[in-house]
Structure formats: structure tokens, C-alpha cells
Amino acid sequence: MRRGFAFVVAVLGLIMADSASAQMDTRTFMDPGFRLPFGSSSPIPRTVVSYTGSHAPGTIIIDTRERRLYLVQGNGTALRYGIGVGRDGFRWGGTHRVTAKKEWPDWTPPKQMLRRRPDLPRHMKGGIDNPLGARALYLGSTLYRIHGSNEPETIGQAVSSGCFRMTNEDVVDLYNRVPVGALVIVRN
């Protein structure tokens, strides 16, 4: 009953608000069964898979060739999410830690991106139209993040400038499971 009420309130808020400033009540995302009302379902469903590696529970492993993110769960399992990755020339690998987490983050394109795309805004407040989506996990001292996307059709594609895109639904799930300090291993 409460989930249904929260959904109705969220949808009404979206209908009544100007899309540039619309913000969801983030408490509705705490329910793992909640689905975002703006088409966030992934073309690659989140699944539990077998995991036989030696990494500790809570470790994030990103396989850019496979275009999947794994969250090690322990007990021989991992959660597997579909992701969008960097296009040719923008893929990278390495080991970092989650250094910050933000809900409905603002977006300021880096200078390198603005040189390539001078048509981009210099800053965007967080919200539904923001390219970082509902959540962002910042990776070490890099310019890169694991973040949501308002373009779920890009999941499974190589289209970003190096960040890892997830549907808003999946990034909220990951965000709620991963603490600041979590190890992130990016494999090319």
C-alpha cells in the first residue's frame, strides 16, 4: 500500500513539476521493488550469477568488454548489472575506490569534454534531465563515475566519455548496497 502511494505521489510530482527542476522523493528508492516512473528499465536485466573469484564481498568488478558490472556478494555469488561503457578511445582500466556518493548529482562537464562538445551546458542541476541520473559513485581521483542515465537504451553500448552508465533503477540499487571506500576493479 505504501509503495503504491509513494508511486502515485512521485508520478503526480513529475506531471506537475517543470521537468528541468523535477526531483523525486529519494525515500521511494529504498524499496528494492520500486520501479522508476520514467522508463528506466534496463535492456539487460540485473541478475544473480555464480562468482568463484577471490575478491571480498562488496567489491565492484567492471568488465568493459562484456559491458557488465559485478558486485561481489559472497557465498559464491555476484549481482550482475548491464552497463554502458566508454566508446573507442575512452575506455580505461585500473583499480580505484568509491570516494564519494551523491543522490541526484549536479553535472559540470570536464574541460576535456567541453573542448570536444562546446554545445554542452557548463553546469546542470541534478534531476531527471541530468545525464548523471539518479545517483553517482565517484571513482578515486579520476574524472569518472558509475552513474545513472536518462537514456536506458545506451546500456550495453559503448557511448560514454569513460564513465560507466547504468539505468537509474540499477544505479539506485547499487548505490544502496555499496559504501564509500568500496574497491572498484575496471578490466578492459
**Residue 87, CB-side half-sphere exposure with 13 Å CA sphere:** 4
Q: Which three cell numbers stand for residue 83?
A: 552497463
| Active-site residue, 147 included | yes
Q: What is the dihedral of CA 47, 101, 153, 22, to 10 degrees?
A: 120
96 burial (CB, 10 Å; 0-12 / 13-18 / 19+) is middle
Q: Which three cell numbers stand for residue 135?
A: 545517483
Task: Please tell me the total number of residues recorded for the chain in this structure.
Answer: 188
Q: Which position among 55, 96, 123, 163 bears the catalytic label?
A: 163
- Alpha helices, H only, the chain: 2-16, 111-116, 168-177
Q: Which position among 55, 96, 123, 147 bears the catalytic label?
A: 147
| Active-site residue, 96 included | no
Give the residue numbers annotated as catalytic, written as ranges. 147, 163
